[in-house]
């Protein structure tokens, strides 16, 4: 499939080593946050849980200063040890002036030290930014992001719509009416808040749990249901992809694929293309992925590419705790996904993924930094997957049912945002009942309509496999396969009941491929 980017179409040098000497005795923490003694809100464990190793913070080195600097700063008597280079004082100072900055290529700021400084974290604590607490009250000292009543209600409408969509389609899979489904339950704030922060011309790469982001962007219920049923109105994937593998080129939403993390190198390439395209300055890429995808090699390839080549890209990690079935405690020993951002030179933030306002504010700032710096920014949204990974999963095999119920009640992202709306007098119980009734009616109407529509022409399965230019012929191997299917249908399509029944589900009942030369209609 052609790139959506084609169809839709902005270093600081290191400080001189003298500057490094001038910050002697100044303690600069890279990341600040609450003291490590602050107890966590939740105390969940899994059968495989083990305590994380205590991170060793980056040591604060104190480089020795020269005699002149020491005297100038009012310390000592003008005597000091050599600055690790031989020669006279004048020679040493001249040598320092000639040294490259930073001390060695590949490091931002460093200095010589006679002591080994081992570390496994950039700070003791990476804070988690939030605006609303678990009950929907504003956190003391917080700054509410700029948001109008209309914007807030639009977010809430999408956040309350997706659970109804999820429930209907999940149950329909259990009844055999669709083949597969994945829910967004528990992650509504992370998905909708981030989508609301993006602009119309931005490119969006989803993993497979971003249907709420797509709906918030204008994807219709009819289009969503058509893709899940693979019917004739499935314009994006033409009935050839599993459910929830959406595609919406007109909305800048790139086609979702099943293999984990494959969208990440694609997003890095798209961001680089935006950087080079003069007509797309000001646009941005957002790439969604989970904590499980961050364990894939594509994660490192993508962030490495983006950090070196540049390009405005928001790397949005939904850290929901479990990947497909592996608790994060068994995935990594470091401090989440956010700790990896500084290693790639990316501006990084950790945000409460169940707080819609915090996500909105963080992603807005992330987008600003990405566009202005033409670079990548990493956002780790701490959330919780309430539903099973998919209809092929039973999460009770690797986590307690009581744990899921507790998260649903204690830290529900929809309840938190609704409490905020009520505190602003933007929402009430009557409005809630009316909205949910409207959602259910629209979802069931779109569901019933999509289920009754036929599937596309059978011959569609052979289209778009190769990129064929105008006037060029389709490769022979495709024509041969198409002809073979046509011959089989002509031989068995009317006499074998399973095929006879299945043919009736397609437009033209397969007649478009039932020509032995493979040319079709």
Query: What secondary structure does DSSP assign to 441-490, as a single string?
Result: HHHHHHHHHHHHSPBPPGGGGGTTSS---TTPPPPHHHHHHHHHHHHHHH
pLDDT of residue 102: 58
The pair of structure tokens assigned to 14 is 């290191």
The CA angle 127-25-74, to the nearest 5 degrees, is: 155
Q: How far apart are CA 200 and CA 363, in angstroms?
A: 15
Cα atoms found within 13 Å of the Cα of residue 36, Cβ hemisphere only: 9
The secondary element (H helix, E strand) that includes residue 498 is helix 497-503
Q: What is the pLDDT along the chain (521 residues), one digit of tens a residue?
A: 444 454 444 333 333 333 333 333 333 333 333 344 544 444 444 443 334 444 444 444 344 444 455 455 554 444 444 444 456 767 766 655 555 455 666 666 677 677 787 777 766 678 999 999 999 999 999 999 999 999 999 999 999 999 999 999 999 999 999 999 999 999 999 999 999 999 999 999 999 999 999 999 999 999 999 999 999 999 999 999 999 999 999 999 999 999 999 999 999 999 999 999 999 999 999 999 999 999 999 999 999 999 999 999 999 999 999 999 998 889 988 889 999 999 999 999 999 999 999 999 999 999 999 999 999 999 999 999 999 999 999 999 999 999 999 999 999 999 999 999 999 999 999 999 999 999 999 999 999 999 999 999 999 999 888 888 888 888 999 999 999 999 999 999 999 999 999 999 999 999 999 875 544 43
Neighbouring-strand partners of residue 290: 318
Neighbouring-strand partners of residue 316: 288, 379
User: How far, in whole angstroms, is CA 383 from its chain's centroid?
Assistant: 12
Instruction: Identify whether 102 is preceded by a cis peptide bond (ω within 30 of 0).
Output: yes
The pTM of this model reads: 0.80
pLDDT of residue 390: 95
pLDDT of residue 469: 87
Nearest to 514 by CA among 274, 385, 113, 491: 491
Instruction: Evaluate whether 207 touches 290 at the Cβ level (below 8 Å).
Output: yes
Q: How far apart are CA 413 and CA 352, in angstroms?
A: 10
pLDDT of residue 216: 98
Contacts of 299 (CB under 8 A, 6+ apart): 261, 264, 289, 293
Neighbouring-strand partners of residue 285: 203, 313
Neighbouring-strand partners of residue 378: 315, 348
First to last CA, the chain: 22
pLDDT of residue 96: 56
For 310, other C-beta atoms within 10 Å of its C-beta total: 21
Could you give the residue ranges of the DSSP H alpha helices within 63-183? 67-72, 89-98, 149-174
pLDDT of residue 13: 35
Q: At what angle do helices 221-229 and 429-452 cross, to 10 degrees?
A: 40
Q: How far apart are CA 494 and CA 503, in angstroms?
A: 9
Could you give the residue ranges of the DSSP H alpha helices within 238-347? 263-276, 297-309
Place of tokens 């917080």: 142
Structural domains of the chain, ranges and CATH numbers in brackets: 2-34+45-105 (no CATH), 149-452 (3.40.50.970), 458-515 (no CATH)
Q: How far apart are CA 96 and CA 98, in angstroms?
A: 5
The pair of structure tokens assigned to 421 is 């709306």
Nearest to 270 by CA among 201, 174, 344, 349: 201
Q: How far apart are CA 209 and CA 162, in angstroms?
A: 11
Q: How far apart are CA 418 and CA 357, in angstroms?
A: 11
Could you give the residue ranges of the DSSP H alpha helices within 13-138? 17-22, 67-72, 89-98
Q: Is residue 138 exposed (0-12), middle (13-18) or buried (19+ Cβ within 10 Å)?
A: middle
Give every strand in the sheet of 313-319, ordered side by side. 253-254, 203-205, 285-290, 313-319, 376-382, 347-352
Nearest to 331 by CA among 33, 52, 87: 52
The helix/strand/coil state of 424 is: coil
The helix/strand/coil state of 138 is: strand
Sign of CA dihedral 394, 396, 399, 402: positive
pLDDT of residue 333: 87
pLDDT of residue 122: 67
The pair of structure tokens assigned to 494 is 């009317």
pLDDT of residue 93: 64
The secondary element (H helix, E strand) that includes residue 500 is helix 497-503
């Amino acid at each position: 499939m052609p790139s959506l980017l084609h169809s839709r179409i902005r270093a600081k040098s290191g400080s001189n080593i003298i500057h490094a000497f001038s910050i002697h005795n100044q303690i600069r923490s890279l990341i600040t946050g609450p003291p490590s003694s602050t107890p966590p809100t939740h105390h969940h464990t899994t059968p495989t849980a083990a305590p994380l190793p205590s991170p060793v913070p980056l040591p604060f080195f104190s480089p020795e200063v020269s005699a002149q600097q020491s005297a100038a700063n009012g310390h000592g008597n003008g005597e000091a040890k050599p600055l690790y280079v031989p020669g006279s004082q004048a020679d040493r100072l001249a040598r320092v002036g000639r040294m490259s900055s930073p001390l060695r290529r590949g490091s931002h700021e460093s200095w010589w030290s006679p002591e080994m400084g081992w570390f496994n974290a950039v700070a003791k604590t990476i804070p988690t930014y939030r605006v609303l607490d678990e009950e929907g009250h504003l956190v003391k000292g917080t700054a509410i992001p700029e948001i109008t009543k209309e914007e807030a209600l639009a977010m809430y409408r999408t956040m309350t719509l997706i659970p109804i969509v999820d429930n209907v389609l999940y149950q329909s899979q259990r009844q055999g009416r669709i083949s597969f489904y994945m829910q967004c339950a528990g992650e509504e704030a992370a998905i909708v808040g981030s989508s609301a922060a993006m602009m119309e011309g931005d490119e969006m790469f989803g993993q497979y749990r971003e249907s709420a982001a797509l709906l918030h962007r204008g994807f219709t219920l009819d289009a969503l249901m058509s893709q899940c049923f693979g019917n004739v109105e499935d314009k994006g994937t033409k009935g050839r992809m599993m459910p929830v593998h959406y595609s919406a080129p007109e909305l800048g939403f790139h086609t979702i694929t099943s293999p984990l993390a494959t969208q990440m190198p694609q997003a890095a390439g798209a961001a680089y293309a935006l950087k080079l395209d003069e007509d797309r300055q000001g646009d941005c890429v957002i790439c969604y992925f989970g904590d499980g995808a961050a364990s894939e090699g594509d994660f490192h390839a993508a962030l490495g590419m983006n950090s070196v080549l540049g390009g405005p890209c928001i790397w949005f990690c939904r850290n929901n705790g479990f990947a497909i079935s592996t608790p994060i405690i068994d995935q990594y020993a470091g401090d989440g996904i956010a700790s990896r951002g500084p290693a790639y030179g990316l501006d990084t933030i950790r945000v409460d993924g169940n707080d819609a306002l915090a996500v909105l504010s963080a992603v807005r700032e992330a987008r600003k930094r990405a566009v202005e710096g033409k670079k990548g920014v990493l956002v780790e949204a701490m959330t919780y997957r309430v539903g099973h990974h998919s209809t092929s999963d039973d999460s009770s095999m690797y986590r307690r049912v009581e744990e899921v119920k507790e998260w649903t009640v204690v830290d529900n992202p929809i309840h938190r945002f609704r409490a905020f709306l009520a505190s602003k007098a933007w929402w009430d119980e009557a409005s809630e009942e009316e909205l949910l009734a409207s959602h259910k009616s629209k979802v069931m109407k779109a569901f019933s309509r999509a289920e009754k529509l036929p599937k596309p022409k059978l011959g569609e399965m052979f289209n778009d496999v190769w990129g064929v230019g105008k006037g060029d012929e389709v490769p022979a191997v495709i024509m041969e396969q198409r002809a073979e299917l046509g011959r089989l249908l002509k031989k068995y399509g009317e006499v074998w009941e399973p095929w006879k029944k299945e043919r009736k589900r397609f437009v033209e009942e397969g007649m478009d491929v039932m020509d032995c030369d493979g040319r079709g209609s």
